[in-house]
A = this chain, B = another copy of it.
Amino acid sequence: MASRKVIIGVMGPGTTAAHKESTGAHESLAMELGRQIASHGWLLLTGGRNIGVMDAACRGAKSAGGTTIGILPGPQTSDVSDAVDIPIITGLGSARNNINALSSAVLVAVGMGPGTASEVALALKAQKPVILLGATPEAEKFFASLDAGLVHTAADVEAAITHIKAVLPAQ
């Protein structure tokens, strides 16, 4: 369909009572990334919860008038980010991570944690381009070793946007 908008996935750690995986720096990056994704006319897809990178990316996209899709792990809407326009309630737990990978034309990981690592790996399994932003050196080396052709490392949000444009299929 000529007019269907491209979906860009932004993945990254949330936080838990036991463990705060995302940092303020990651959330700032995610917010700016979400803002720029919306400015380019792309749809933003995240894990949809009201915490961490996923929440920040959605808030950024909304600040630029974008549309946000959240793929929620739980069976109801109680923990959906206020900045999600379209909550998809999967009830699948972490099995929903594969939907994030399959539904995104490009996946951008901001920061890293076990859940985010699974989403990057599932995206590579599905032959999707992945961009790492604010990842650790260990993550960059490992994912490049899995599939150097699909994995790109971005130094900042501008570089991530440039990478997205480069890997999108011509419209």
Contact = CB atoms under 8 A, between A and B. Distances in A.
Interface of A: 1, 4-5, 7, 43, 69, 71, 75-76, 82-99, 101-103, 112-115, 117-118, 121-122, 124-126, 136, 138-139, 141-142, 144-147
Given A93-B91, A114-B121, A147-B114, A85 B138 contact: no
A96 to B, nearest CB: 8
Nearest to A76: B102
A102 to B, nearest CB: 4
15 contacts: A4-B87, A76-B102, A88-B103, A89-B99, A90-B98, A90-B99, A90-B103, A92-B95, A94-B122, A95-B95, A117-B117, A136-B145, A138-B145, A139-B145, A141-B142
A94 B89 contact: no
Contact of A94 (B93, B98, B114): B98
A87 B103 contact: yes
A94 B94 contact: no
Given A114-B121, A121-B114, A142-B141, A102 B86 contact: no
A147 to B, nearest CB: 7
Given A98-B94, A142-B139, A89 B103 contact: yes
Q: Which of A83, A113, A138 has the most CB of B within 10 A?
A: A138
B147 A86 contact: no
A93 B98 contact: yes
